[in-house]
Chains A and B, each alone.
Chain A
Amino acid sequence: MLEAFSSGFWQVIAWPAFGYLLLGIMVGFWVGLLPGIGGLATLALMLPFSYTIKTPIEAFCFLLGMLAVTGTTGDLTSILFGIPGESSSAAMILDGYPMSKKGEAGRALGAAIMSSLFGAVIGALSLAISIPIMRPLVLLFGSPELFIITIMGITFIGTLAGASLIKGLLAGGVGLMLAAIGVDPQTGSLRYTFGFLYLWDGLDVTPVVVGLFAIPEIVDLAVRGTSISQAPKEKLKGVMEGVKDTFRHFWLVVRCSLIGVYFGVLPVLGANVAQWIAYAHSVSGLKDRKQAGKGAVEGVLGPGAANNSTRGGDLIPTIAFGIPGSASMALLLGALLIVGLQPGPEMLKSRLDVTFAMVWILIISNIIVAGICFLILNHLAALTFIRGSLLIPFLVVLVFIGSFTANNSLHDLLVTLIFGSLGYFMVLYGWPRPPLILGLILGKIGENYLWISTAAYGAKWLAFPSVLILIVLTVIIVAYPTIKERRGRAKYDRPEDAI
């Protein structure tokens, strides 16, 4: 095993594999930065180029290297402009963007990049460590367990609700309702499609997230007529402070990374969900919960770590069974077949070196991108001091191109506009937006797993020991803050309205 471990490393840093890795990082860097244009769409575009690559490790250097860094650079856009660079970076906005507004962009960026690096390394190591137990690990979660985990995720709406629990729950409820749009997979009946074929597949998360979060910020920027940072322009020195923050909250970063890995392993869930859970976990531990959403660095560290560590978790079912853990993994599998490697159990035996090479690619590409980011960080942070009127046209173009890539349909733009207006009024009247997104993402998943569990096991699944344990765990998570409060150990207020 050790031999494969080192062989994987040497194969990754050998030429031309390393060149492909650098190329992948370069592409991924920009893909991450540009809002909406996601790793998945780019992976699909880059796939034909990988046909000409000779060995599996070289192809993986290019594709996985690209995918691995999008999480990190996506966070940068969220912090700088309040616009999610990737749909998995939306949670980063909640505290990252307020930090930029306070003139602490440097510190937020430092914290995001460092926690991303940590997350990626922990994700990669989890992948390496879990190699012997991969198969039972994946088989542990059947549909009933996944349903309870989804419910657990939905309870985090309470934590993300902000100032008003009622408003939070209502927003979450709207999200769940929006999740019902589309062809229902059980009977094939159409729900809330109003004669639009576009709605058959349900709402795509990307245009909704981009609209909900980006448009209000752009309008706000235009109305204020200033630069993003409202603080006077000083020397940007916070970067090291942000790096130090990562070490100050070391265990928080580790815990959030593990949340990311865990959600990566679970099918269908993944970075889009993990970021919110990690965020909720981070801010629920704040001493002064009023600081949440006002630029608390913990709210940057949590999602930063989680959305990067999911990549490692994602690879686990892909390798253990040859069954992709997410849409991007499905594309990677396609690429592997083309270069002549059959992903699946063979990769735990005769091609263990390839598996370890993946671990190394995740680690090395994130170290490199963190290095690049730190080099140009001051220039990036300086963007927040540019006059808004110069930035806005550029941002608007990026936002709409980004949402258009979801389905290449004009309807994508319409969805962005509708949710943009909705988002604007939500901000205006103090309604939290994260519960709506969480409801939208989890609603469909929860419904499916509930149906599958019932269809496969009747009502028996409710008595499965694993299900009972998860239910108890969920109850504890929901009740814990209240219990803590009653005991008078700490007087918590609900975290402030996140934005």
Chain B
Amino acid sequence: MEKFRNAHSSKGFRSVLAHASRLSPLASLLFLMQFFNLLTVQLLFAQTPFYQGKTINIIVGTKAGDAYDLYPRLMAEYLPKYIPGSPNVIIQNVPGAASMIAANQIYNVSKPDGLTIGAIYPALYLDQLANKPEVRFDWSKFHFIGTPVVSNHLMYMRSDAPYKSMEDIRKASTPPKCGANGTTSTGYYMPKLLEETIATKFDIVTGYQSGGDVDLAVERGEVICRAFTITAYFAREPFITWRKKGFVNVLFQSGSKRDERIKDAPTIYELMDKYKTTEAGKRLSTVVLAAGDFGRPLVFAPAVPADRVKIVRDAFDKIVKDPAYLADAQKRNLEIDPSSGDEIQKLAKEVVTAPPDIVERMKKLMGTGK
């Protein structure tokens, strides 16, 4: 393309000179001035946009069709519109190990040319803090492009259970049984965080295959509570029916402000104030809850040139304001509550510098310290 352009302009140059030689001196002077004027303008813009005619590959750390996969797929439809040069954007699913395979690949293997974007899990930094040998990245060195949604969490409890508030759970002689998939799921570490910060006791039953299986177990009465994202609680069955029937209550939420839709449930920060959580406990919760603020992050490898990072970040910021994008997201039941790359970049630097005592407590909480 570049070659073609040069050839084209040199040919143009010859023809312009040929024209100029046939004109009067003044006219030709004017003409030449005009021509150089044009030439400078043309030179300024001669550089074709980097992304023109190229293909951006978004590596998604889950299987196709997963909720984590749906966001980048929607983003992929809009990126060509906002990145100069309208590159092609394709999705490649690299599932496994809670998207750590994808994160390692983006950080170490993919060429850092700005043509590979990663869509990875937000809680991977916890593995880095826990010093897992499989982690081959430094979370804070990723260039964060942004996240289309910040996900806060809540805990529901069957309303026929004797636990109506966190106070009840603190005082209860038998702790309530909460269901979870594995130790890396929010269903596990949210109740654990509450234990660490406000001294509630939970009996966490892990091993369910999916969140849906936990919900079924709650219907059956096998377990009675579960912690997960607020978004899902308002978007899907069985929660719609549950809310209508008053089958469950929400006992807490993890955001810094109370969500409009669950005004009665206290935030974790209110609870920590109420129960006089220690400073260390508060720092621990900051580290753990940051996962929600990372949301569903899109990242570049550290060595990607800054100008390309900027182009894609700018595109991201425009996309999340595009009414067509928002309408599409609503149609697909994807909540949008974006956070820019700059914002979560700062947060990433903060969380990886957590002091050793906090990290130790975090490891205990995640079941990785055993």
Which A residues form the contact surface with B (CB < 8 A)? 41, 43-45, 47-48, 51, 138-139, 142-143, 183, 185-189, 195, 197-198, 200-201, 267-268, 317, 321-324, 330-331, 334, 337-338, 342-345, 407-409, 445, 447-449, 451-452, 455-456
Q: Kindly provide the distance from the CB of A191 to the nearest chain B CB, expressed in whole angstroms.
A: 13
Q: Which residues of A contact B332 (CB under 8 A)?
A: 51, 337-338
B212 touches A330 (CB 8 A): yes
A330 to B7, CA, bound (A): 56
Q: Which residues of B contact A321 (CB under 8 A)?
A: 215-216, 219, 237-238
A323 touches B216 (CB 8 A): yes
Within 8 A of A (CB), among B197-211: 203, 205-210
Q: Which segment, of B62-70, B267-275, B287-295, B308-316, faces chain A?
A: B62-70
A185 touches B216 (CB 8 A): no
Once A198-B101, A407-B95, A408-B92 are accepted as A-B contacts, the answer to whether A451 and B219 lie under 8 Å apart by CB is no
Q: Which of B64, B134, B207, B366 contacts A448 (CB 8 A)?
A: B207
B96 touches A197 (CB 8 A): yes
Chain A residue with the shortest CB-CB distance to B102: A197
Query: Please, could you name 26 A-B residue pairs with CB atoms under 8 Å apart, sorted by A?
Result: A51-B332, A143-B217, A183-B184, A186-B207, A187-B370, A195-B133, A197-B97, A197-B100, A321-B237, A322-B238, A323-B213, A323-B238, A324-B212, A330-B212, A334-B65, A334-B70, A338-B331, A342-B240, A344-B240, A407-B94, A408-B93, A409-B94, A448-B208, A451-B206, A451-B207, A452-B206
Q: Kindly provide the distance from the CB of B305 to the nearest chain A CB, expressed in whole angstroms.
A: 28
A455 touches B331 (CB 8 A): no
Q: Which residues of A contact B177 (CB under 8 A)?
A: 455-456
A43 touches B65 (CB 8 A): yes
Q: Which of A188, A197, A407 contacts B182 (CB 8 A)?
A: A188
20 more A-B contacts (CB under 8 A) besides A186-B206, A186-B207?
A44-B65, A51-B332, A183-B97, A185-B207, A188-B368, A197-B100, A200-B96, A200-B98, A267-B216, A321-B237, A322-B240, A323-B215, A337-B235, A338-B332, A344-B237, A408-B92, A408-B95, A451-B206, A455-B207, A456-B205
B241 contacts partner chain A, Cβ-Cβ < 8 Å: yes
B181 contacts partner chain A, Cβ-Cβ < 8 Å: yes
A197 to B104, CA, bound (A): 10
Q: Which residues of B contact A338 (CB under 8 A)?
A: 331-333
Chain B residue with the shortest CB-CB distance to A48: B73
B220 contacts partner chain A, Cβ-Cβ < 8 Å: yes
Q: Which residues of A contact B264 (CB under 8 A)?
A: none
B53 contacts partner chain A, Cβ-Cβ < 8 Å: no
Q: Kindly provide the distance from the CB of B104 to the nearest chain A CB, expressed in whole angstroms.
A: 7
Q: Which residues of A contact B219 (CB under 8 A)?
A: 139, 321
B222 contacts partner chain A, Cβ-Cβ < 8 Å: yes
A198 to B94, CA, bound (A): 10
Within 8 A of A (CB), among B151-207: 177, 181-184, 203, 205-207
Closest 10 pairs (CB-CB, A-B): A322-B237, A344-B237, A44-B64, A188-B183, A44-B65, A200-B97, A185-B182, A323-B212, A448-B207, A197-B97
B205 touches A197 (CB 8 A): no
Q: Which residues of B contact A186 (CB under 8 A)?
A: 183, 206-207
Once A267-B213, A452-B208 are accepted as A-B contacts, the answer to whether A142 and B134 lie under 8 Å apart by CB is no
B95 touches A187 (CB 8 A): no
Q: Kindly provide the distance from the CB of A323 to the nearest chain B CB, expressed in whole angstroms.
A: 4
Q: Which residues of A contact B182 (CB under 8 A)?
A: 183, 185, 188
Binary A-proximity of B208-237 (CB < 8 A = 1, otherwise 0): 111011011101101100000000000111
Q: Kindly provide the distance from the CB of A218 to the nearest chain B CB, expressed in whole angstroms.
A: 27
Q: Which residues of B contact A143 (CB under 8 A)?
A: 217, 222
A331 touches B133 (CB 8 A): no
Q: Which residues of B contact A185 (CB under 8 A)?
A: 181-183, 206-207
A183 to B235, CA, bound (A): 30
Chain A residue with the shortest CB-CB distance to B132: A190
Q: Which residues of B contact A455 (CB under 8 A)?
A: 177, 203, 205-207
Once A187-B367, A188-B366, A323-B238 are accepted as A-B contacts, the answer to whether A197 and B209 lie under 8 Å apart by CB is no
A447 to B208, CA, bound (A): 11
Once A197-B100, A337-B236 are accepted as A-B contacts, the answer to whether A267 and B370 lie under 8 Å apart by CB is no
Once A322-B241, A338-B331 are accepted as A-B contacts, the answer to whether A331 and B217 lie under 8 Å apart by CB is no
Q: Which of A41, A48, A452 contacts B205 (CB 8 A)?
A: A452
A404 to B174, CA, bound (A): 48
Q: Which residues of A contact B366 (CB under 8 A)?
A: 188
B64 touches A41 (CB 8 A): yes
Chain B residue with the shortest CB-CB distance to A453: B222
Q: Which residues of B contact A139 (CB under 8 A)?
A: 216, 219-220
Chain B residue with the shortest CB-CB distance to A47: B65
Q: Which residues of A contact B235 (CB under 8 A)?
A: 337
Chain A residue with the shortest CB-CB distance to B332: A338
Q: Which residues of A contact B97 (CB under 8 A)?
A: 183, 197-198, 200-201
Of the listed residues B93, B177, B237, B333, the one surrounded by the most CB atoms of chain A closer than 10 A to its CB is B237
Once A51-B332, A143-B217, A317-B216 are accepted as A-B contacts, the answer to whether A407 and B237 lie under 8 Å apart by CB is no
A337 to B332, CA, bound (A): 7
Q: Which residues of B contact A267 (CB under 8 A)?
A: 209, 212-213, 216
Q: Which residues of B contact A44 (CB under 8 A)?
A: 63-65, 69
Q: Kindly provide the distance from the CB of B234 to the nearest chain A CB, expressed in whole angstroms.
A: 12
A448 to B180, CA, bound (A): 12
Q: Which residues of B contact A142 (CB under 8 A)?
A: 217, 220, 222
Chain B residue with the shortest CB-CB distance to A201: B96
A407 touches B96 (CB 8 A): yes
A468 to B208, CA, bound (A): 23
A147 to B235, CA, bound (A): 32
Q: Which residues of A contact B95 (CB under 8 A)?
A: 201, 407-408
Q: Kindly provide the distance from the CB of A26 to the nearest chain B CB, expressed in whole angstroms.
A: 21
Q: Which residues of B contact A334 (CB under 8 A)?
A: 65, 70
Of the listed residues A48, A51, A189, A449, the one surrounded by the most CB atoms of chain B closer than 10 A to its CB is A48
Q: Which residues of A contact B212 (CB under 8 A)?
A: 267, 323-324, 330
A142 to B214, CA, bound (A): 11
Q: Kindly provide the distance from the CB of A278 to the nearest chain B CB, expressed in whole angstroms.
A: 23
Q: Which residues of A contact B73 (CB under 8 A)?
A: 48
Chain B residue with the shortest CB-CB distance to A198: B96
A200 to B102, CA, bound (A): 13
Q: Which residues of A contact B101 (CB under 8 A)?
A: 197-198, 409
A445 to B367, CA, bound (A): 21
A189 to B369, CA, bound (A): 10
Q: Kindly provide the distance from the CB of A63 to the nearest chain B CB, expressed in whole angstroms.
A: 11
A187 touches B64 (CB 8 A): no
A43 to B65, CA, bound (A): 8
Q: Kindly provide the distance from the CB of A486 to the nearest chain B CB, expressed in whole angstroms.
A: 40
Q: Kindly provide the distance from the CB of A345 to the nearest chain B CB, expressed in whole angstroms.
A: 5
Chain A residue with the shortest CB-CB distance to B328: A51
